[in-house]
Structure 1
Amino acid sequence: MESDKSGGETTIRIQEGRSDSKGNAPVVAIATSKASQHSKGRWRKGIAIFDFILRLGAVAAALGATAVMGTTDETLPFFTQFFQFEAQYSDIEAFVFFMIANAIVSVYLVLSLPFSIVCIVRPYATAPRLLLLIFDTIMMALTLVAAGAAGSIVYLAQNGNPNANWQAICQQFDNFCQSVSGAVVGSFIAGMILMKLVIMSAIALKRS
């Protein structure tokens, strides 16, 4: 500020100060915002890629469980062709339900792959992620219910129930029990993967 007196008049000159810090603040804020958005986009894209990989694993597990259960059949080598003991999945309703449920889940997982790819290409899209979350939850419940029902039958086949006078049949039908046990394990793996997908989708939507 300068004071100049001339002709009885006083003139006060005020020089405008420049604040580099204030002038540069918006630039820094914009740069920080862009960096945050870029980091957030990379994080969401990474989640989407991991989602796609997990879906491939769930497809393999569900399809494997369906195929193994659908081809499970064992006939005891003794007795004649007119009098034989045979065990197959279609004799037990829980195993039939298991195979149908896992087949439905397998088809769904295959159809969900394009939506997972959309989430990779467009990591900020919430509609496909929300759709996957809803149907993943339904298919997770279906898979775990089917695996639990079949698992209870496998347990009875292996151990029996003396109180109900149910005999264990796995000592005779060993291959049959091994096949259905492997199918149940594969179904539980698919269910656990679907559970992880549900959690990942919920986290991604919450941080969107």
Structure 2
Amino acid sequence: YFIAALSVTGFYSIITTLASLSIVLNPTYSKTFLLFFAFFDVVFVGIVASATGAAGAVGYIGLKGNTHVGWTKICNVYDKFCRYTAGSLALSLFAAILLVLLSMLSTFTLYKKIRD
């Protein structure tokens, strides 16, 4: 889920970047276009946040284990795997925060456009 969610979000970000560049070249854009961006920005914030949370939960079980079901710690055995997992979770958390900020910017731009 983690890889699929981040891949789809990355693809959406590429599409959004290309659309934003076309808006810069042709500044006559509609409110509907901005509403589309704002809506899907919020949707993808939720997707990235849920994927990061799910991967973090699995990583925590790998780090601490779960004695109730008999799962032992694996990070003391597979140290490199756990370091890579922690790095990917940190980058995903950074991406989620960045997406929240971009979503707020998109919503504020839509608000200014509607108000004018």
Query: Is the structural similarity TM-score above 0.5?
Result: yes
Q: Could you tell me how far 1:123 is from its partner in structure 2?
A: 7.1
- CA distance, structure 1, for counterparts of residue 28 and residue 82 of structure 2: 45
Matched, 1:98 2:2: yes
Matched, 1:133 2:49: no
- CA distance, structure 1, for counterparts of residue 11 and residue 112 of structure 2: 30
Q: Could you tell me how far 1:124 is from its partner in structure 2?
A: 6.2
Matched residue, 2:87:
182
Matched, 1:193 2:104: no
Distance 1:129 1:114, change over 3 A: same
Q: Could you tell me how far 1:126 is from its partner in structure 2?
A: 2.4
User: Which amino acid letter does the alignment assign opposite residue 181 of structure 1?
Assistant: A
For residues 91-121 of structure 1, the C-alpha deviation after alignment (integer angstroms, 9 at most, x for no partner) is: xxxxxx1111111111111111122224434
For residues 141-191 of structure 1, the C-alpha deviation after alignment (integer angstroms, 9 at most, x for no partner) is: 111111100000111111112333321110000000111111111112111
Identify which of 10, 13, 21 aligns with 1:117: 21
After TM superposition, the score normalised by the length of structure 2 is 0.86
- CA distance, structure 1, for counterparts of residue 43 and residue 20 of structure 2: 17
Distance 1:189 1:158, change over 3 A: same
Counterpart contact for 1:119–1:128, Cα < 8 Å? no
Number of aligned positions between the proteins:
112
- CA distance, structure 2, for counterparts of residue 203 and residue 193 of structure 1: 15
Distance 1:151 1:123, change over 3 A: farther
Distance 1:106 1:124, change over 3 A: closer
Matched, 1:155 2:60: yes
Counterpart contact for 1:129–1:205, Cα < 8 Å? yes
Counterpart contact for 1:119–1:129, Cα < 8 Å? no
Larger Rg: 1
Q: Secondary structure at the match of 1:163?
A: coil
Matched residue, 2:70:
165
Give the number of the structure whose residues are more often strand, by fraction.
1
After TM superposition, the score normalised by the length of structure 1 is 0.50
Q: Secondary structure at the match of 1:169?
A: coil
- CA distance, structure 1, for counterparts of residue 22 and residue 16 of structure 2: 10
Structure 1 portions without partners, runs of 5+: 1-96
Q: Percent identity between the aligned chains?
A: 26
Cα RMSD of the aligned pairs, angstroms, is 1.7
User: Which amino acid letter does the alignment assign opposite residue 104 of structure 1?
Assistant: V
Which gives a bigger RCO, structure 1 or 2 (Cα 8 Å, sep 6+)?
2
